[in-house]
Structure 1
């Protein structure tokens, strides 16, 4: 009898249209010091640089965040390392929708449908705050 292969986690793409150019959305979202303004599911306070990562308080406790290297493609993938040492890759992109609008796409992955629904809802709230900050406060 062969061993049971674990089922891969379920994925869901959460998107948000933002009426700002790709470069502006990317620059704002890529700056970890802006995370408390829009990514409340990840960053609460006390964001500081630590070697090659950013350390911050979050609803999950103290976390380390490492973003993909700066790029012209809108890639904002980031690895979040939790206090227990678990690391989670979060794929994220900013896509151009013409010269004055962008779409942010965040891929949520979870092992259960319930956790997927919960995390997707939290990410949707964060992306809505990102839209609000960039369209109204910028």
Structure 2
């Protein structure tokens, strides 16, 4: 997990997400794979920070990670798991100088699970990848002034 851009001002409906706090994301929810569909919510106008969970076990044919608790300094407001939405938000939230995978293999698949354990933490229940796949999840938090 690494921090991406911090304190980025976003206009209303500039960034589409898979899960939005109070809409389809609540503390205690376990999220499986990616959300699809045209009715995915958008971030409201505001200032946000981004963090990327990236799983790519280089040099092996497959990998699995379980029970990893990740804590943040501010409240989680949205999560992006879908590869197309990750790619679309890279130019806004992506880390300076970071090179991101742009293929369809970049996403949280249906056999990957994470739990929104508290307003500031995520538990990666299970992340699994094969030789040509990576798991990325963008966690968007409220910007701390």
Instruction: Give TM-score, length-normalised by structure 2.
Output: 0.27
Q: Which of the pair is proportionally richer in helix?
A: 1
Q: Which has the higher contact order (CA 8 A, sep 6+)?
A: 2
